[in-house]
């Protein structure tokens, strides 16, 4: 297809979760606090972030063992295509979470509602802007009517049909 794409992490996401098992599977269901520890050279990029209530974190699923094209997701017993889920075992191990911004001090960003394994490589931070990020006509596909509050990760973090990267 195209040439490989490489990213250099801007820092680490620090959380109380040493292991994926038992960790909340979505930020909305998480009540844990965490922090983003950025490399010093990115400090200027944090200017003006404190005015936002939430931020979008893009990160590398460094603990995901293998990419799969089908998974049995949480809240369902049916095999689904990985692109119709939030499963971490993806062809490109990129994760996304929307978390509450609690404060910024130098190169450290305090966050709440974190659902990420400790020491996860952070690729980017973007401000969450409801006017841009919440479509008024959104549909949740096979997840319609399912409630995810309080759901934690288990051994389904990998599984399904393996994919060659």
Q: What is the structure's pLDDT at 165?
A: 41
Q: What is the structure's pLDDT at 160?
A: 43
Average pLDDT, the chain: 83
pTM of structure:
0.80
Q: What tens-digit pLDDT sequence spans the chain (165 residues)?
A: 788 889 999 999 999 988 776 666 665 566 789 999 999 999 999 999 999 999 999 999 887 777 789 888 777 788 989 888 878 888 888 999 999 999 999 999 999 999 889 999 999 999 999 999 888 888 878 878 776 554 555 454 444 444 444
Domain that holds residue 112: 22-128
Residue 2 in domain = no
Q: Please write the tens of the pLDDT for every residue from 34-74.
A: 999 999 999 999 999 999 999 999 999 887 777 789 888 77
The residue behind tokens 């006509």 is 137
* Percent of the chain with pLDDT strictly greater than 70: 81
Helix (H) or strand (E) holding 71: strand 70-71
Q: What is the structure's pLDDT at 148?
A: 56
Q: What is the structure's pLDDT at 77?
A: 83
Helix (H) or strand (E) holding 37: strand 33-38
Residue 34 in domain = yes
Residue 78 in domain = yes
With H, G, I as helix, E, B as strand and everything else as coil, classify residue 109: strand
CATH (domain of 58): 2.40.30.70
The structural domain count of the chain equals 1
The residue behind tokens 């959380």 is 15
Residue 79 in domain = yes
Q: What is the structure's pLDDT at 17?
A: 87
The answer to whether 160 and 71 are in contact (CB under 8 A) is: yes
Cα(50)–Cα(46) distance, integer angstroms: 8
Residue 41 in domain = yes
Cα(131)–Cα(129) distance, integer angstroms: 6
> End-to-end CA distance of the chain, in Å?
12
> Half-sphere exposure of 27 toward its Cβ, with a 13 Å CA cutoff?
20
Number of helical H runs and strand E runs in the chain = 1, 8
Q: What is the structure's pLDDT at 162?
A: 46
Residue 163 in domain = no
> Half-sphere exposure of 25 toward its Cβ, with a 13 Å CA cutoff?
19
């Amino acid at each position: 297809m195209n040439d490989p794409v490489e990213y250099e992490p801007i820092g680490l996401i620090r959380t109380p979760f040493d292991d994926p098992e038992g960790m909340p599977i979505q930020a909305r269901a998480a009540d844990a606090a965490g922090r983003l520890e950025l490399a010093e050279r990115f400090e200027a990029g944090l200017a003006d972030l404190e005015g936002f209530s939430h931020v979008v974190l893009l990160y590398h699923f460094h603990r995901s063992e293998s990419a799969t094209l089908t998974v049995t997701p949480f809240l369902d017993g049916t095999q689904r295509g990985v692109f119709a889920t939030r499963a971490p075992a993806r062809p490109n191990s990129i994760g996304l979470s929307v978390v509450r911004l609690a404060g910024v001090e130098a190169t450290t960003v305090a966050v709440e509602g974190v659902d990420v394994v400790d020491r996860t490589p952070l690729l980017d931070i973007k401000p969450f802007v409801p006017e841009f990020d919440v479509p008024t006509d959104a549909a949740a596909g096979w997840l319609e009517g399912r409630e995810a509050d309080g759901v934690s990760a288990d051994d389904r973090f990998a599984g399904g049909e393996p994919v060659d990267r």
